[in-house]
Structure 1
Amino acid sequence: MEPTGRLSVRSKIWIEDEQGKVVFGAGRLRILEAVERTGSILAASRELQMSYRAVWGKIRATEQRLGRPLLTKKIGGTKGGGSELTGFAKALLQRYRTLQALTESAADRLFEDVFTPDIPENPASGS
């Protein structure tokens, strides 16, 4: 059988609290990036094709688990309301991106060291 091409490793990381509940991960990253881009939870939910309730629920759960607000709400007016990320939320995004990049880089190095293309047919024989 011929090889199908170059192999690579993929990993997902997320942060959990003591009870094993998700605090932050790629999904919440996308949500907060969309809020930052669009300026509102409603617009972010539309962009992500998620319900407003689901988006708001994930934001609220993360805020509760961290004990810190992620959004500052702007009350409506002539230009309407909206939301913007707090300084804490912006720092959280940056740190998560850094953790994600470092994890991917480390996983790639480990993969190259451990999972080489020439895996022996019979590991016990060493050939």
Structure 2
Amino acid sequence: MTAKKRNVYVKSKVWLVDKEGRIIFGLGRMRILKAIDKCGSLNSAAKELKMSYRAVWGKIKVTEEALGKPLLVKNQGGSAGGGSTLTPYAYTLMNRYLELSRIVDTQADDLFESGFLDPK
């Protein structure tokens, strides 16, 4: 009986972590960057994600420090308002993360379907 007939499947997640095991990047950080890109500011993104500004900023800061590259260009307030935009590196990181996740999912699915539950 194949895994599909059993209604069993494999699910995987990909995180980039530092040597202490702290998450540096994953789907949560991806959601944050997408929200910032959509909303144009950390504050608006935090509200959309129903997170505190401090939590959103803290996660971005941890990622930037670990990778040694900025993810945001922060514009000061004033009459035109503030805001944040993603750096080209942030877009590259997001695209590469999605590609890595796709590869991991494909490889996991292939291994699982090749008889993972029914070894010979």
Q: How far apart are the structure 2 equivalents of 1:67 and 1:111?
A: 37
Aligned to 1:40: 41
Kindly report which structure 2 residues correspond to 1:4-83, keeping only aligned pairs within 5 A, or say none: 6-83=7-84
Q: Could you give the per-residue CA deviations for residues 11-63 of structure 1, whole angstroms, max 9, x where no partner exists?
A: 11101112222111111111111111111111111111111110000000101
How far did 1:80 drift? 1.2
Q: How far apart are the structure 2 equivalents of 1:83 and 1:61?
A: 17
How far did 1:5 drift? 5.4
Give unmatched runs, 5+ long, in structure 2: none
Deviant stretches of 4+, over 3 Å: none
Q: How far apart are the structure 1 equivalents of 2:37 and 2:88?
A: 12
Helix, strand or coil at the partner of 1:18: coil
Q: How far apart are the structure 1 equivalents of 2:115 and 2:35?
A: 37
Question: Max radius of gyration: which structure?
Answer: 1
How far did 1:108 drift? 0.8
**Percent of aligned pairs sharing the same letter:** 49
Where is the helix percentage greater, Structure 1 or Structure 2? 2
Q: How far apart are the structure 1 equivalents of 2:100 and 2:92?
A: 12
Give unmatched runs, 5+ long, in structure 1: none
Aligned to 1:112: 113
Alignment-mate amino acid for residue 75 of structure 1: Q
Aligned residue pairs, count: 117
Helix, strand or coil at the partner of 1:106: helix
Residues 79 and 5 of structure 1, relative CA distance in 2, 3 Å threshold: farther
TM-score normalised by the chain length of structure 1: 0.83
Quick one: higher RCO (CA 8 Å, sep 6+), 1 or 2? Answer: 2
Q: How far apart are the structure 1 equivalents of 2:112 and 2:80?
A: 51
